[in-house]
Amino acid sequence: MKRSAVRPSPLFLGLLAITVAGAVLTLFGDPESPIDDPVVIAGTVLFVLGGWAVSLCLHEFGHAVVAYKGGDYAVKARGYLTLDIRHYTDPIMSLVLPLVLLAFGGIPLPGGAVWINHHALRNKRVESLVSLAGPVSNLVLGALLSLSVLLFQPPAGLAAALSYLALLQILAFVLNILPVPGLDGWGVIEPWMSYQAQQFGAKARPWAPLVLFAVLLAFPAIAAIFFDLSYTVFGLVGGEPLWAGLGQGTFMFWR
């Protein structure tokens, strides 16, 4: 892939700047009680919301860049290689709704979408890798955020914010990798399925994720399995649940 194919948009850089500003704000809180400090709370909210928007861009960029290298050069013309969130989202369903649910402590929904011309991709392996690239970006980002806390031991306010955003990335990874039509896990295995199974997936794609979310909300035992698995992965990448819990409490300060 040519270097010129990837050009981060000013909007993406702005989201990145907001995220960094939030991280910096967490450093100016009361060292004796950083979690209850208004400055730390404001910084955490900015950092988590900005960081989630950045991760959404990286998730969809992961899909697009692998597709570009795999033969679908039209993703460049569609603006998917600019990391511009406007190219990945429907303003309400793909951005506002996931952020609102996130703000109220819900499961982080997969927010964006890129249109891939699967007929242009070289083979089934590339098709699978295109689908896998998005969740892997969440896993890698979650690991990097967790390791930054483990290795650099930042002040409490920043450690909590970093850990909570890391946990959200792992939750997004585990959710997206499930083999459910409409999620990336299904896309990984779909190229190897029979024609009938692919047709079923195409019909189920619009509503299957909604059924999954309803099941997670309605059946606590199933939700517990999902969260247990997510926390296991979180621990494997170096995450600290205590810090993540403090970060979540700071982010949802009104509770």
Q: Measured on CA atoms in the order 121, 180, 107, 167, is the torsion positive or negative?
A: negative
Q: What is the dihedral of CA 221, 222, 225, 228, to 10 degrees?
A: -80
Which helix (H) or strand (E) segment holds residue 43: the answer is: helix 38-69
CA distance linking residue 3 with residue 9, whole number of Å: 15
Amino acid at 218: A
Is 190 among the catalytic positions? no
236 within 8 A of 146, measured Cβ to Cβ: no
178, with CB counted inside 10 A (0-12, 13-18, 19+), is middle
- Answer positive or negative: Cα dihedral of 29, 167, 109, 215: negative
> What does the block give as tokens for 22?
């939030």
Residue in 32, 60, 127, 190 annotated catalytic: 60
> CA–CA separation, 143 vs 87, rounded Å?
26
Give the list of residues 6+ apart from residue 25 with CB closer than 8 angstroms, or none.
39, 40, 42, 43, 46, 47
Residues with a known catalytic role: 60
